[in-house]
């Protein structure tokens, strides 16, 4: 007998409802709706966020455990793990309930452990140098699917699966697949879940969360009013509209001047330093005059430039800038008084940049 093909066909749909999708009030209601006392919501939350080993919820008792199981459905199934840097960098490829593939990366440093999470499966922003941008958008991730990437990494660290002894996730960056500001409400809810103290959430400091965006101005304005203290990263990649229109197509809608205005509005309100992301692409955006123009646009602001050597995507003609060109770019920015660093390129050998592992699958 041949199995009907429909078993393999991914259904693109809404992920099952999970505890991490819900506020504390909603969790209480959900627990009561399943026939348990409201205080069980906190117990269940402690188990999920507080890092007890999977499946061991002995203080709940077998009946409550069974009744409440629907609130902790499996959201992400591990498809593949790839590590480098002696195991301290790990890329996870996950499969969601509908077959959708999602990536996250865990990077352990001596003083912190950072998870790079995806906010969407695929991306609709179509930046030509980005692997995720090439395939288009599949769907938004749910709050639970975003949070679970961090919770799973946190469990690995606690269980001592990552070299360096037991640890915790200290930092989260929204720099995996997707455009966080295009999945606004779920991303903001995920940030709250990640930063609310246990049992409401995972208890990570808001200051240790970075939300990176191509620059959707209305969403940046909304985030400014949100009262969060996360760091905003703006993927600028060019200081002039002519070039940015091609590298970050959404620039045709919200040009450089407008996006910088919105981003600086965020820093004014929050007091958080703006991070400017700038992938240096050989012969495309790395000219000395563009460094000068970038410096001019940023002068006097609470800002930090993060230069990223381009990670060439398969089949692309583009490459990273030569080191002397990179050094000159850095020199000019610093000379103009702009704090500038070059991002380390961890995870390159495991296709750690933006959509490359999912693209291989
Ligand atoms: N959509 C969001 C967040 C995801 S990408 C954003 O664009 O900000 C995280 C960062 O990686 C962005 O700055 C993005 O421009 C950059 N990036 C994407 N592809 C890259 C590549 N091939 N090499 C270097 N940086 C890349």
Domain segments of the chain as ranges: 19-71, 77-360
Residue 291: count other Cβ atoms within 10 Å of its Cβ: 28
**Nearest-CA neighbor of 272 among 300, 303, 294?**
303
pLDDT of residue 347 exceeding 80, the answer is no
pLDDT in tens, 108-119: 999 999 999 999
Name the DSSP class of 202.
Answer: -
Probe ligand 1: pick from 126, 234, 277, 285, max atoms within 8 Å of CB? 277
**Nearest-CA neighbor of 232 among 188, 293, 297?**
188
Binding-site residues, ligand 1, Cβ < 6 A: 125, 127, 129-130, 175, 179, 212-214, 235, 277, 279, 308, 310-311, 313, 353-354
Dihedral class, residue 198 (left if φ above 0, else alpha if ψ from -120 to 50, else beta): beta
pLDDT in tens, 215-248: 999 999 999 999 999 999 999 999 999 999 999 9
Enter the pTM of the model.
0.93
pLDDT in tens, 321-342: 999 999 999 999 999 999 999 9
pLDDT at residue 356, as a whole number: 53
pLDDT at residue 351, as a whole number: 56
Pick from 9-23, 127-141, 206-220, 221-235: least confident: 9-23
pLDDT of residue 4 exceeding 90, the answer is no
- Taking CA atoms only, the protein residue closest to ligand 1 atom 24 is 310
Residue 60: count other Cβ atoms within 10 Å of its Cβ: 17
pLDDT in tens, 17-38: 999 999 999 999 999 999 999 9
pLDDT at residue 343, as a whole number: 85
Residue 250: cis peptide before it, omega within 30 degrees of 0: no
Residues marked as catalytic: 103, 354
Q: What is the CATH number of domain 77-360?
A: 3.20.20.70
| CA gap 172, 194 in Å, rounded | 9
Probe ligand 1: pick from 175, 306, 346, max atoms within 8 Å of CB? 175
Pick from 86-90, 115-119, 241-245, 276-280: least confident: 86-90
| CA gap 20, 106 in Å, rounded | 20
Class of domain 19-71 as given by CATH: mainly alpha
């Amino acid at each position: 007998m041949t199995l009907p093909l429909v078993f393999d066909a991914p259904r693109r749909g809404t992920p099952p409802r999970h505890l991490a999708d819900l506020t504390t009030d909603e969790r209480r209601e959900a627990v009561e709706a399943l026939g348990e006392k409201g205080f069980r919501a906190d117990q269940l939350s402690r188990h999920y966020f507080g890092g007890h080993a999977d499946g061991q919820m002995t203080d709940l008792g077998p009946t409550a455990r069974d009744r409440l199981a629907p609130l902790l459905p499996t959201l992400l199934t591990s498809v593949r793990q790839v590590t480098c840097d002696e195991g301290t960098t790990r890329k996870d490829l996950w499969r969601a309930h509908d077959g959708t593939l999602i990536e996250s990366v865990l990077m352990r440093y001596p003083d912190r452990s950072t998870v790079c999470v995806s906010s969407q499966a695929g991306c609709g922003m179509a930046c030509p140098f980005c692997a995720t941008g090439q395939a288009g958008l599949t769907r938004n991730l749910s709050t639970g699917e975003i949070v679970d990437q961090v919770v799973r990494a946190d469990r690995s660290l606690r269980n001592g699966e990552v070299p360096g002894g037991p640890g915790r996730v200290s930092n989260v960056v929204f720099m995996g697949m997707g455009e966080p500001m295009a999945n606004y409400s779920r991303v903001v809810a995920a940030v709250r879940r990640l930063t609310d103290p246990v049992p409401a959430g995972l208890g990570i400091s808001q200051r240790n969360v970075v939300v990176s965006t191509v620059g959707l101005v209305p969403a940046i304005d909304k985030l400014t009013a949100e009262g969060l203290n996360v760091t905003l990263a703006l993927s600028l990649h060019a200081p002039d509209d002519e070039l940015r229109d091609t590298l970050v197509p959404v620039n045709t809608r919200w040009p450089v001047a407008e996006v910088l205005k919105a981003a600086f509005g965020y820093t004014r309100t929050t007091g958080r330093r703006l991070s400017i992301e700038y992938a240096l692409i050989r012969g495309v955006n790395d000219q000395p005059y563009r460094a000068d123009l970038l410096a001019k646009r940023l002068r006097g602001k609470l800002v930090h430039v993060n230069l990223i050597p381009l990670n060439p995507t398969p089949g692309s003609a583009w490459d990273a800038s030569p080191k002397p060109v990179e050094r000159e770019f850095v020199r000019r920015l610093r000379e103009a008084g702009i704090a500038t660093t070059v991002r380390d390129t961890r995870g390159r050998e495991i296709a750690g940049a933006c959509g490359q592992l999912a693209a291989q699958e």
